[in-house]
Every structure is written in C-alpha cells, then in structure tokens.
A and B are shown apart, each in its own frame.
Chain A
Amino acid sequence: MSGFPLRRVRVAEVEQVAARIKRFRFVDIDNAPLSQFSGGSHISVVMHSGDRLMRNPYSLMGSPTDTSSYQISVLHCGADSRGGSKFMHENVAVGSELEISQPLNLFPPVRLAKKHVLVAGGIGITPFMSMMNELDALRSDFELHYGVRSLEDGAYCKYLQSRYGSRVNVYRQDQGQMIPLDAILGEQRLGTHMYVCGPKPMIDWALQTAELQGWPQENLHSEQFSAPPPGKPFVVKLAKSGREIAVKGHQSILEALEEHGVDASFLCRGGACGQCETGVIACDGYIDHNDHFLSEAERVGGKKIMICMSRIQTGSITLDL
C-alpha cells in the first residue's frame, strides 16, 4: 500500500490573509461532498510544476463538519522554497484544479483532557483553527497563545479574537511581547494538555518548558511543519531489485524513488506517521535522521530510516527495497 487515493478539487477562493500567507478554498470538482474530518487534520496537496511532482501536507482550517469545501493557508517560503509554497502562491488561482488526499490526523486533541492549552507560532496557527472549532462545539475548555511577528504577518488574529474572545491571546514580536509560557503552564490544573505548532525552536522551547515543570509526556503534543531538508547528493542501492538510484541535493529519498518509478509506501511525508519506515541493510555514511518517529534507540541502531525526511551525509546506503 503506497500513497493514497486522490480526489480532484477546484480552487473556489483565494485570499491574501497576511503578508506572506494566502488562504485557499477547495471544492470537489463535481461538487460532491467532501469527508468530514477531526480537528488538527491535514491533507496532502499534489502539485504538478513543469515535470516536477510535489506533494505537500497542509492543515485543514475550516469547520470539520463542513463537507462543501476545505480550506488551507499557505505561507510563502520565499527563496528557501523548492517550489511547493511558491507554486501555490504564484500559479494557483480561482478555477485552478489540484489533487488532494483524504484528511489524516497526526495532531488530534485528546478527548480525555480537562483543558487544552494551544501554543502557536506564525503559520503554526493552522491546525488550531479546526481544533478550536471542534473544541468549541464540544464545549471543551481551551485557551490559545499565538505568537506573531506583527499584525501584518499574523493571520486570523482579529477573526480569532472576535470569535473566541478572551480565550485567544496574541503576542506581537514587533512590540517585544513574548508568550509567558512558564506562567501559563504553571497555573494549569491537573489533566490539562498542551499542544504546540510552530517553528522548530519554538516547539523545542515549549516542550522543554513543560518538561521542566514536570508535565507528563503524554500531556504534551506537537506538530512540526517539516519539509525534507536538502543536503549533498548520494546514492541509494535497492537490495531486492539491485537498482541504484541517485538522490539529488534537493530531493528526499522518497522523491528520488518516485521519480524513478519505484513504488514506496508513504502517508504524511513529514516524518511523523511512520508509514515510510524502511530497513537499512548497509550504510557507509552517517544517517541524518530528520523524522519525528524513530526512537533514540532505533536511530542509534542504524537499522531503520524514514525515507520521506532522512538522508545521508556522505557515501551510499543500501535499503531493504
């Protein structure tokens, strides 16, 4: 089982919601109802740019019970982008057609929680949009702490404040405001869960702050919008077929395999779901494990690699494929 069945959608609306962020609304090409989903879910958007195929995950931010359309928000990653977010911003307009996957949730709110503390940084607000919608409908207790560079850079600040009132707290970096996480976490009652989504340093900081306060691991949740980091080119040898495939500097192993027509299993393409786990038969270089799935022991063991995210620095690697 590799990949997922796709459905064709048409872009019904595009709106610039912040300096570098656009909101897109998709409807089914035949106006058929879309699946409902759970708060925190994302879809993969398939983009054909020239002869390149990109599949980027984007969080669903509309109402989970709205089956008429899906909405995502995309940050323009600028010069850093290999193309996906740039393509969305520059080539996708009302009427464009795209393919998307079914919703997948790797960041669900825990229904047993007494309370939910949501911590967002920048574009990391997106999964919380649907999550808050759901929590609000369930009358669950939650509060949002949302850090933005400025009001021009932060999406949906006004909308969220008018909809959820004092449960939403916005912190503006340009005014020197910081999320007072130590104090926020310090005053929570037992049974509260914390969720963080944003840049990696922010996620690390939030998790560390909570851990130092003695929060149990199972009450801490994070989602990182990772994309496969680039590196040097290298060669992958496939043990079963005997093939050798070159991975370019800007490609992930998974992308290189797909380009050469090798069928490999995947789901999230962000190093979180575990679906692309692949056995390592031999490796004469050092593996950069960029996923969030393998345990420390598994990394040290060197017998497994998540091919959607991880690569090697030098040499070659032989995979059980």
Chain B
Amino acid sequence: MALIFKDETFRDDFTYKNSPATIRRFPFPFIEDQYRYSVNIEPHTPGPKGSVYEFTFDIDEHYVSEMRDRAMVLQEDPGRCQALPHMMTAQWDMLELVMVSLARDYPDLFTLHRDGAHWHWINKPLNIDQKFTFGEVNSLPYEPMEYVGRQIQGDFSLQDQRDGQLWMDAGIITSQADWSLDFDVGMNFFEWHAPVPLAHEAGVFERALKFLLNMQIGQPVRRLNWTMTINPRLDTSPENYPKWGKDRTTVTPENVGEKVHLRVELQGLFRLPRSNAILFSIRGYLMSLEQIVTVPKWGRRLPRVLKSLPPELIEYKGLARYRQTAIDWLEKYDDGAPTSPGGGPD
C-alpha cells in the first residue's frame, strides 16, 4: 500500500481532484434509486481490502493537504476546536484510539512506542516526532484532542453521556456541512439535531439515541450521510458562509459537472473506555459529478435519487438553486437501465 500524497488546495484555486483509484473506492451512499432518512447504522467491522472501510480510520491521498487546510482554518478561527473541562479523560481516550489504530493499520506511515505512560509517536507524512507522557497535558503542544485532530482526516466530536442523553461537549470541526461547533457545544442529541427536517417525526432520532446510549466498548458502528457542495471546499461552516454561500449562484449548465460535488460523510461512533464518552468521527469524501459519472451505475442512479428527494430535504441541504441543473446534466448518463442493489460500482 504505497500512498502518494497529493499537493492540492480546497480553497481559492481548488486544485483538489481524485485519482482513478480513489474514485473506485468512493463510498457512494445511495443503495437504491431513492433516498430517505433512516436509522442506517451498521457495525464498523473491517471491510474489503482497499475500501474506505478496511481500517478503523481511513487515510487517503488527500491526507497531507487536508491537514494543511485544517491548520489554516484553526489559525483563522481557534473556536473551531473546543473542549469543556470535564472532557479531558475523553480527549485522552480519543488520542489513544487514534494513535493505536493508525500505528496498527498504517505501519509505514505511523509508529507508536508505549512504555507505561511514556509514549513516542512518529507521523512520517507530517514529519512529526513527539515524545510525551500519557495523561499529562503539558507534555504535548496542544490538548490531546486537538493534537491528534490535527493529524487525522475528518472532523471529530466527543459526547459526554449523562441523564440518558449525549452532550456534545468537545470537538474539532473544520470541514463541516454548514453546522457550527461553537453553536452546538454543550447541546444534547435532540437539541443539536433540531434543524433536521422529517427525521424527528419519523422517530429516527429517538431510536438512534437509544441505540447509542447502549453502545459497547470495542463495537464501533458507522453510517453514511451526504450533501452537495459547490467546489471542493472543506470549510463550508456557517462561520465561513460569506465566502462560500454565493458559490451556489455560480453553477451553470456548462460548469455543473466540474463544480458540483457530492459530499459523503463516513461517520463512525465509538464507545470510549475510560470516559464512557462517545466519539463521533465524520470523515468526508468529495467527488465532482464529472468524476461520479465515470462509474456507469452511479451516473444512472444519482439523477434518479436527486429527483426523488422530498422538498424539505432539498431545502435543508441547500440544493434548491442548482438541483435541476445537476439533474439535467446527469440525465445524459441515465440510459434507464435497472441498477443493482447496494452502493458499490458493478
């Protein structure tokens, strides 16, 4: 497994692109020709070799550039990373899970030596060599969540469990689909999900919360979520809205294939052992419509899905302005043939 890390941008000139091998492993989220909310949770067990499910946390060719983009966001707005004081044990739990997993799954890239509380972490792609004392905050340049959060693709939040609820009491969130950690921090599961349409009424969140409260150590689960983003921009936060909101008006029939990206989140949920907290990982994948239609099944299915969406969902995901343009462009690739079940390419 020789990963070659790309040097690319997620802002300004937007040079981000997937290589052909990365296209094939894209976690296309639509398992049938229509989409609606459901409690789509499955065990996070190792998937096929080379797939995004192979390991606990997926590292791909965009790793180095994504970490650079995260550092820029944090530089401009430190509020994207916050932790309430009672979450320190959970932060260390997260650091341990991330370091142990990465070192086990990508031995060419990461190494971890542990001698009691004396830890030695080497991150080759980012040129980091750090000795520190586990449990001692002052032995690291940042608090533990931020320290590993700057070295792993995807956003992370930490939920404290109390009163039969989950509370978003910490997170490092720099590449989110239009929600704000600064706004959500300290909220519970129902409160931070309040803006989501239809799902509350369908009982989705009640069932999901009940499931999460009983999650067990060593039995992580995952689910996919999706939206669409104009240009391969990671930071589509409310804080940054002035910069990206207007992008939606720039989509034309000529540029839609290149500009509009399907944004898929592979979300992982982990019970952390010492803190009893829940770690939520949101690993985002971006792919332009142009690249999606290189897989014939996806080219057929995506326009059908976009046509099937209820109006509430179109509104919530912010697709209204360019959805029809996208459907019109995509339909060229739909020959009407039936599609096979499941999301993977044929």
Contacts and interface: CB of A to CB of B under 8 A. Distances in A.
Nearest to A101: B216
A108 B276 contact: yes
B163 A65 contact: no
B86 to A, nearest CB: 4
A109 B214 CA distance: 16
A102 B219 contact: yes
A18 interface: no
B217 A35 contact: yes
Contacts of B339: none
Contacts of A245: none
A85 to B, nearest CB: 24
A38 B275 contact: yes
Interface in B144-191: 160-163
Contacts of A218: 162-163
A56 interface: no
A275 interface: yes
Contacts of A267: 214, 216
Given A102-B219, A108-B162, A38 B214 contact: no
Interface residues of B, number: 18
Interface in A260-285: 267, 273-275
A5 B276 contact: no
A108 B271 CA distance: 14
Interface in A23-49: 35-38, 41
Given A35-B218, A111-B86, A138-B89, A105 B274 contact: no
A232 to B, nearest CB: 31
A112 interface: yes
A36 B218 CA distance: 11
Nearest to A267: B214
B128 to A, nearest CB: 26
Given A112-B86, A274-B214, A37 B162 contact: no
Contacts of A36: 273-274
B89 A110 contact: no
A273 to B, nearest CB: 5
Given A37-B274, A105-B276, A273 B214 contact: yes
Given A5-B219, A102-B217, A112-B162, A37 B86 contact: no
Contacts of B214: 104, 267, 273-275
B210 interface: yes
Contacts of B87: 111
B274 to A, nearest CB: 5
Interface string B265-285: 000000001111000000000
B303 to A, nearest CB: 35
B86 A102 contact: no
A126 to B, nearest CB: 17
A156 interface: no
A286 interface: no
Interface residues of A, number: 25
Interface in B189-230: 210, 213-214, 216-219
A4 B214 CA distance: 11
B130 to A, nearest CB: 22
Given A102-B217, A218-B163, A65 B210 contact: no
Nearest to B86: A111
A121 interface: no
Nearest to B87: A111
Of the candidates B162, B219, B273, the one having the most CB atoms from chain A within 10 angstroms of its own CB is B273
A35 B217 CA distance: 8
B209 to A, nearest CB: 11
Nearest to B275: A38
B272 to A, nearest CB: 8
Interface in B112-169: 160-163
Contacts of A5: 218-219
A294 to B, nearest CB: 13
Nearest to A67: B273
A64 interface: yes
Interface of B: 86-87, 89, 160-163, 210, 213-214, 216-219, 273-276
24 contacts: A5-B218, A5-B219, A36-B274, A37-B217, A37-B273, A41-B276, A102-B217, A102-B218, A102-B219, A103-B217, A103-B273, A104-B214, A104-B216, A105-B276, A108-B161, A111-B87, A111-B89, A111-B160, A111-B162, A112-B160, A218-B163, A267-B214, A267-B216, A274-B214
Interface of A: 4-5, 35-38, 41, 64-65, 101-105, 108, 110-112, 134, 138, 218, 267, 273-275
8 nearest A-B residue pairs (beta carbon): A111-B86, A38-B276, A36-B273, A108-B276, A35-B217, A105-B276, A102-B217, A218-B163
Given A35-B273, A104-B216, 10 more contacts: A38-B274, A38-B276, A65-B274, A102-B217, A102-B219, A105-B276, A111-B86, A111-B160, A112-B162, A138-B89
